[in-house]
Amino acid sequence: MNGINLINSAFSAARSTGRAALIPYLTVGYPDPQTSLSLVEAAANAGADLIELGLPFSDPLADGPTIQRSTQVALQQGITLARCIDFAAQLRKRGLKQPLIMMGYFNPLLSYGIKRFVEDAAGAGVDGFIIPDLPVDEAATMETACRENGRALVYLASPNTPAPRLALLAGRTSGFLYLVSVAGVTGARAGLPPDLQNFVSRARAVAQGPLAVGFGITTPEQAAAVGSLADGVIVGSALINAINAGEHDPAQAVYDFVNSLAMALKKETVF
């Protein structure tokens, strides 16, 4: 199936049951390559609707300390872009069905070759891409490659994105629009920003597809609150923290935490 259609189907399936889609983020190769495969499978089995695969990079500008550390550990173990593509292929061979979205930075993709990267990733079963440091104004080559391969290119918007720019991003994104809940880097936070509801409403007014909120969602209660506003809930740093806390059985730790988020979304509370 076309990757964009698969992503749309995942959001539609969640919506049909009256909840937001759950999108956990896991760094490829963390805490080690073999365990990493089992962690993605645990997240899938625990109720993930889509899965973000973090591509390790030496200078992850949009990521806070938790994800930065996970990417450094992965890089030290020899994880490359080619190995990330193979990782996705292995997941598909092992029967994983959820849409896979690679989240990474532009420089490694440029070195690999944009057209080649998208073609190879699509062949491995990747459905879309999130590239935080690729402005929409400079993304024509990536957009063309994604369009030719039926893959989504997801753009990000933040609370301080001006209205005209927000409309531009909403019109150009595919799959969904990624709403960064705060102006800052990723990381677990004690609470949700007070202006989140207004930000989602502004995006909803110009969006042509699903809205997913990420950055700073830490607890099941926060996930439920965000799920009452948006079509998707993205959780990354808090999941990496759960892996670190459950070092003796990280797969079980992932399953338990993702399942707690999934259960909370089924009972969404009003923000």
Angle at 49 between CA 46 and CA 55, to 5 degrees: 95
Alpha helices for 192-268 (secondary structure H): 196-206, 220-227, 237-245, 250-266
63 phi and psi, to 5 degrees? Answer: -105, 145
Question: Has 247 been annotated as catalytic?
Answer: no
Among residues 63, 127, 231, 268, which one is catalytic? Answer: 63
Residue 49 falls in the annotated catalytic set = no
> Looking at 41, 49, 52, 268, which residue is catalytic?
52
CA–CA distances in Å: residue 245 to residues 54, 94, 187, 205: 20, 27, 16, 40
Phi, psi for residue 210 in degrees, rounded to 5: -65, 155
Q: How many other C-beta atoms lie within 10 A of the C-beta of residue 144?
A: 14
How far apart are the C-alpha atoms of 107 and 118, rounded to whole Å? 14
**92 C-beta neighbours (distance < 10 Å), count:** 14
Tell me the catalytic residues. 52, 63
